[in-house]
């Protein structure tokens, strides 16, 4: 028994990752497409065996209500459109899987949670890393307690954003810059790994002043989260630095490094701990599983079993609350100046 998904938005993620990943799903299948470009939708539908009558555009979207094959609507549009399409899907009585970031603001995220609750449909946010085996293994190691208390986390998500004219540089369509797009992975991992909610945040933004892409949104943000246990997460995200997507946890009795923790593929995990007087370093090898397939199957299984998803709307809402605190901190917290130090020439 497979659950039917309607994909809304046929951009890069849908075409390059999600549609191919259905081939590895056990419980999910694509049954409908929603796109503003009919020729593209027809070609894609043909390729994936989707009926022509199950192609919708943004105006005819609400008639998905009359298509019983569609059980889940997967919203893969620019961030600023997630709120509208989640509300419309809920009104059509369909469960929603929504791409990250869930919305542009915490207020929108809250409305999405409430609308899905009122309509009696499930809402899941597509935090794929929470379905990826290496990240899950690292969390299991942390929770097992053998390495003691986690003290520090470092999480980086940087990639050069090459495509100049696109929605990611518009505040209305993206909600923000590197933070909601890629920094969110660091934030969500810090919460998911620790199982705690941050109680204090610190943040700094830096964007090149003369680059028109960064008039509305930030290029880079460094931020720090402090958790009740005393764990501190140091995070950074940027559209201006070469790709780096690693996560490290420093614990009392060892460390865990997950390379490419936030990448689509290519993860690895190294673990260090004291063995007698020596330091043992172990590399764990796990089978790679397509994390998009795992995530879509999870949603399908939740629908079939009537269970709540692992990353429900509330999870996305909490990330939005923290992101708003980070922006607020970046705006309001002035830097602490240091006196200029004379260079070596001046001291001679």
Q: Judged by CB, which is closer to ligand NAD: 194, or 290?
A: 290
Q: Which of 4, 9, 309, 313 binds ligand NAD (CB under 6 A)?
A: 9
- 58 is known as an active-site residue: no
Q: Which of 12, 51, 143, 274 binds ligand NAD (CB under 6 A)?
A: 12
Distance, in Å, from the CA atom of 227 to the CA atom of 232, rounded to the nearest integer, reads 6
Q: Interacting stretch for ligand NAD, rule CB under 6 A, among 20-28, 77-85, 116-124, 136-144? A: 77-85
Distance, in Å, from the CA atom of 233 to the CA atom of 153, rounded to the nearest integer, reads 4
Q: Judged by CB, which is closer to ligand NAD: 71, or 104?
A: 104
Which residue in the shown chain puts its C-beta closest to ligand NAD? 11
Q: Which of 3, 10, 217, 237 binds ligand NAD (CB under 6 A)?
A: 10
Least CB distance to ligand NAD at residue 13 (A): 3
Site for ligand NAD in 173-232 (CB under 6 A): 173, 181
Least CB distance to ligand NAD at residue 208 (A): 22
Kind plus residue range of the DSSP H or E element containing 319 = helix 313-332
Site for ligand NAD in 140-169 (CB under 6 A): 166-167
Give the pair of three-digit tokens for residue 121. 């449909």
| Dihedral (CA of 213, 214, 220, 221) sign | negative
The CB-side HSE value for 248 (13 A sphere, CA atoms) comes to 10
Distance, in Å, from the CA atom of 221 to the CA atom of 248, rounded to the nearest integer, reads 18
Tell me the C-alpha to C-alpha distance, in Å, between residue 145 and each of 38, 84, 150, 257.
53, 43, 9, 16
- 100 is known as an active-site residue: yes
If binding is defined by CB under 6 A, does position 289 make contact with ligand NAD?
no
Give the pair of three-digit tokens for residue 25. 């799903």
- Residue 254, strand partner residues: 251, 273
Instruction: Write down the catalytic residue from 100, 122, 239, 327.
Output: 100
Q: Interacting stretch for ligand NAD, rule CB under 6 A, among 76-84, 198-206, 222-230, 334-342? A: 76-84
Least CB distance to ligand NAD at residue 190 (A): 17
Distance, in Å, from the CA atom of 305 to the CA atom of 187, rounded to the nearest integer, reads 30
If binding is defined by CB under 6 A, does position 79 make contact with ligand NAD?
yes
Tell me the C-alpha to C-alpha distance, in Å, between residue 15 and each of 49, 59, 122, 196, 284.
14, 21, 24, 35, 32
Give the pair of three-digit tokens for residue 41. 């939708």
Q: Interacting stretch for ligand NAD, rule CB under 6 A, among 4-12, 107-115, 187-195, 242-250? A: 4-12
- What is the bridge-based pairing of β-strands 232-238 and 278-284? unpaired
Q: Which of 29, 55, 99, 115 binds ligand NAD (CB under 6 A)?
A: 99
If binding is defined by CB under 6 A, does position 88 make contact with ligand NAD?
no
Site for ligand NAD in 31-70 (CB under 6 A): 36
| Dihedral (CA of 283, 286, 288, 293) sign | negative
Residues marked active site are found at: 100, 185
């Amino acid at each position: 028994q497979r659950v039917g998904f309607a994909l809304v938005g046929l951009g890069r993620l849908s075409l390059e990752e999600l549609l191919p990943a259905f081939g590895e799903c056990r419980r999910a299948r694509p049954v409908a497409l929603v796109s503003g470009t009919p020729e593209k939708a027809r070609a894609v539908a043909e390729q994936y065996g989707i009926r022509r009558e199950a192609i919708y555009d943004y105006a005819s979207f609400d008639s998905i209500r009359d298509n019983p094959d569609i059980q889940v609507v997967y919203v893969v549009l620019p961030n600023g459109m997630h709120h509208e399409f989640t509300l419309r899907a809920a009104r059509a009585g369909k469960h929603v899987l929504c791409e990250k970031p869930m919305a542009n603001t915490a207020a929108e995220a809250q409305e999405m949670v409430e609308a899905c609750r009122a309509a009696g449909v499930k809402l899941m946010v597509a935090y794929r890393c929470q379905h990826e085996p290496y990240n899950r293994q690292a969390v299991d190691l942390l929770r097992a307690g053998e390495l003691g208390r986690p003290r520090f986390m470092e999480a980086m998500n940087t990639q050069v954003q090459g495509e100049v004219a696109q929605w990611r540089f518009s505040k209305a369509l993206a909600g923000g810059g590197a933070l909601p797009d890629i920094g969110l992975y660091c934030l969500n991992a810090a919460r998911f790994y620790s199982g705690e909610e941050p109680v204090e945040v610190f943040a700094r933004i830096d964007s090149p002043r003369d680059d028109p892409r960064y008039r509305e949104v930030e290029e880079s943000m460094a931020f720090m989260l402090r958790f009740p246990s005393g764990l501190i997460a140091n995070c950074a995200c940027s559209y201006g630095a070469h790709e780096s997507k690693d996560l490290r946890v420093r614990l009392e009795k060892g460390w865990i490094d997950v390379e490419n923790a936030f990448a689509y593929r290519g993860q690895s995990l190294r673990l260090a701990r004291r063995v007698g007087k020596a330091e043992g370093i172990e590399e764990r090898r796990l089978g790679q599983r397509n994390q998009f397939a795992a995530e879509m199957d999870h949603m399908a299984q939740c629908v079939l079993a009537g269970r709540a998803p692992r990353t429900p709307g509330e999870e996305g809402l909490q990330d939005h609350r923290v992101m708003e605190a980070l922006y607020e901190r970046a705006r309001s917290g002035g830097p602490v100046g240091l006196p200029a130090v004379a260079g070596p020439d001046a001291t001679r």
